[in-house]
Chain A
Amino acid sequence: MSANRTPLPTPGENFMAVGEPEQELSVDQVGDVETPDQWWQVLWSSKKARIGIIILGVYVLVAIFAPLIAPHDPLDGSFEPLAPASSTNWLGTTTSGQDIASQLIYGTRISLLVGLFGGLFATVIATVIGLTSGYAEGTLLDDLLSFLTNVFLVIPVFPLIITLVAYSEVRGLWLIVAVVSITSWAGAARAKRAQIITLRNRDFVTAAKFSGEGTGRIVFREIMPNMSSLVLASFVGAATGAIFAEAGLAALGLGDSRNVSWGTMLYQSEQQGALAQGLWLWVFAPGVVLAVLMTATTFINFGVDLLSNPHLREDA
């Protein structure tokens, strides 16, 4: 079980320890006896997930070291406009004389930041709402939270995001992160609600209740570690959605105006009529780097599936 990775003793061990206080096993010793695969070992054992992790790693490095890798400042418009690809401008320049390759490299930062934080916040919201609702199944609280979840599940996300962002005067990165996370948690919350309903009547939960633990602790410290693969899967899904949403918003002209992202590149290229002028590289490049990043997250998700469904592991 993946729950063994946490420093907390798993609920089963806890229960044992209560029964036999003189034979205290440390968590490490228990790990030595069973040696289940750690979650990263399972993830790494899948060839697809390994490829995904490596690609994502390259993107992370590019984002961190963008100033060292990029040949120019992405907003420096001092080059000859509409230049074809050359040794100075690897992918040519825009209509306003900016270096496309440098924009592409800096754009990695925005996409990864939006993916990381958008995915993180959406997962936190989904986890809190899904787990609370499922643990309180059948109560008024559950009805209310389920209703809220279903409303957000049914409202088309993209028009809602556009409307919320359009009202805001300052369109920074954090606004996009916030709007994306408060609009896209519903699907994951429903999945988590379903999962906790199957877990909440297990023996270890009953044991935790009898030992006098509070509800919050039972839900988030006892039950949640058993759902870590689902949480991880929903994080990957939410991060992917956030990256897509940012690209779409920016392509519509609702992006962060002070930073270059792949979406803003697409927006500007469209505004300048890049395709009509035959500047296809300007349009092609941001879409390709985005697609490769999406491929990486899809591949990582195959690995995450192995975590949540051990039956799949034999084929990998």
Chain B
Amino acid sequence: MRYIGRKVLYFLATLWAVVTLNFLIPRLQPGDPAEIMVRRLAGKDAALDQAQVEAMRAMLGTPTDSLWAQYVTYLQELVQGNLGLSYTYYPFPVTQVIGQAFWWTVVLVTVVQVLSFVGGVVLGAYAAWRRNSRFDSVVTLGSTVLGTLQPFWIGLMLLYVFGYTLGWFPTSGGFSEATPGWNWAFIQEVVSHAFLPALALLIVMPIGWILGMRNTMIMNLGEDYIRLAKAKGLTDRDVALRYAARNALLPSVTGFALALGSVLGGAILVENVFDYPGLGRLMGEAVSQKDYPLLQALMLLSAVAVLVANLVADLLYGVLDPRARRAEG
């Protein structure tokens, strides 16, 4: 119980730090941030869009207030789920704009994260079990070589070969003609549109799991309990799966949240390559349109997502490994 309490407390403290950082970033610039930003936008196109000024005000609060008062207002708004208005999509609130893109990215990232984890752990465990075999060297060398590639560049190459040249997959968007909803035509379109973005990420993302799992498993295979299990006459399969792999899996659980961060980072670029209608493309759009309220909200959302994943991994680790509970509890 104390273990859980500690982890939840830690989660809340980190959450506070992230929220505060998100508050401070736009205010780090010298001078009055709202004025600077409005002037910068005005400098670009002479006629200043009133909508943008409004959105900026909504995001930054009344600039004449003290920093502390702004902070209090910011926290109050945040608790109410108010993150300001997007000015690319004025007058829609940022949360609504994000809501529309949210599920696209959640589906993509979840599929990639789960497949990477499962695939990586299985490949890594098998490579360690058959250490120095041909399978092991292919997997290790392959991981090293593919690890030098950028997911978004892989995406560009896939797009060229399978999208433009062979025409097997659509080249942009999330769906084409079907009406969104739970109908077969729409689901088919979603899958065919998401296939290449997911593949681009799936070529790189399992590598960390593969190498990590392989290393821990090799270390575990040298332990006495494995020798004992073999001596007892257990089958290879049982020793590999129920003894070595099960224990080697533990460190991978803690890596789960950090891996989610890198999948999100990769997804931002990959989504922009494929014009996939998720949060990453929205972030690209926010950057090019200087839609700061939207950008801030997306940053906060991705940080909170990783924080929550981290908490889940920590709690799961406590369940899986009683030593963690005892040591820290």
Contact = CB atoms under 8 A, between A and B. Distances in A.
A151 interface: yes
19 contacts: A151-B14, A155-B306, A156-B306, A157-B261, A158-B268, A159-B264, A159-B302, A160-B299, A160-B303, A162-B268, A162-B283, A163-B295, A167-B29, A167-B292, A287-B149, A292-B148, A294-B149, A295-B148, A298-B148
Contacts of B258: 153-154
A162 B153 CA distance: 18
Given A156-B261, A163-B296, A298-B147, A276 B164 contact: yes
Contacts of B295: 162-163, 166
Given A153-B258, A275-B160, A294-B148, A166 B290 contact: yes
Interface of B: 13-14, 17-18, 21, 25-26, 28-29, 40, 144-145, 147-150, 152-153, 156-157, 159-160, 163-164, 171, 257-258, 260-262, 264-266, 268-269, 272-273, 283-284, 286-288, 290, 292, 295-296, 298-299, 302-303, 306-307, 310
Contacts of B286: 166
Interface stretch (A10-18, A70-78, A243-251): A243-251
Interface string A271-283: 0000110101001
A20 B89 CA distance: 79
B287 A254 contact: yes
Contacts of A156: 260-262, 264-265, 302-303, 306
Nearest to B266: A158
Contacts of A253: 284, 287-288
Contacts of A8: none
Contacts, number: 127
Contacts of A284: 157
Chain A interface mostly helix, strand, loop or mixed?
A: helix
A244 B265 CA distance: 11
Nearest to A48: B144
Interface string A133-164: 00000000000000100110111111110111
Contacts of B164: 275-276, 278
Interface of A: 147, 150-151, 153-160, 162-164, 166-167, 169, 244, 247-248, 251-254, 266, 270, 275-276, 278, 280, 283-284, 286-287, 290-292, 294-295, 298
Contacts of A160: 299, 303
A156 B272 CA distance: 18
B155 to A, nearest CB: 10
B251 to A, nearest CB: 14
Contacts of A154: 14, 18, 257-258, 261, 303, 306-307, 310
Contacts of A286: 153
Given A151-B17, A287-B149, A163 B299 contact: yes
A248 B40 CA distance: 25
Contacts of B290: 166
A283 B261 CA distance: 26
B18 A169 contact: no
B150 A244 contact: yes
B287 A248 contact: no
Nearest to A278: B164
B269 to A, nearest CB: 6
Given A166-B295, A266-B153, 8 more contacts: A153-B258, A155-B261, A159-B268, A159-B298, A160-B303, A251-B152, A252-B287, A290-B153
Contacts of B262: 156, 158
B25 A275 contact: no
Contacts of B147: 294, 298
A97 B144 CA distance: 37
A225 to B, nearest CB: 27
Contacts of B144: 295, 298
A180 B237 CA distance: 46
Contacts of B310: 154
A293 B265 CA distance: 21
Contacts of A167: 25-26, 28-29, 292
Contact of A159 (B14, B29, B160, B265): B265
A295 B296 CA distance: 35
B160 A280 contact: yes
Contacts of B284: 252-253
A292 to B, nearest CB: 8
Contact of B171 (A155, A276, A283, A291): A276
B269 A251 contact: yes
A166 B37 CA distance: 12
B326 to A, nearest CB: 20
Contacts of A247: 150
Contacts of B296: 163
Contacts of A244: 150
Residue from A155, A270, A292 having most chain B Cβ neighbours under 10 A: A155
Contacts of B306: 154-156
B160 A155 contact: no
Contacts of A147: 13-14, 17
